[in-house]
Structure 1
Amino acid sequence: METLAIPVKDAAKSLGIGRTKLYELIGGGQLQTLQIGRRRLVKTDSIRALVEKAA
Structure 2
Amino acid sequence: MERLLYDPREAARLLSMSRTKVYELMASGQLLSVRIGHSRRIPADALRRFIEQHEEVTL
Q: Relative to total residues, which structure has the larger strand share, 1 or 2?
A: 1
- What TM-score, normalized to structure 2? 0.82
Which runs of 4 or more aligned residues in structure 1 lie more than 6 Å from their structure 2 counterparts after TM superposition? Answer: none
Count of residues paired in the alignment = 55
- What's the counterpart of residue 12 of structure 1? 12
Query: Secondary structure of 1:32's match?
Result: coil
Contact 1:30 1:50 survives alignment (8 Å): yes
Q: TM-score, normalised by structure 1?
A: 0.87
Distance between the aligned counterparts of 2:36 and 2:24, measured in 1?
Answer: 20
Gaps of 5+ in 2: none
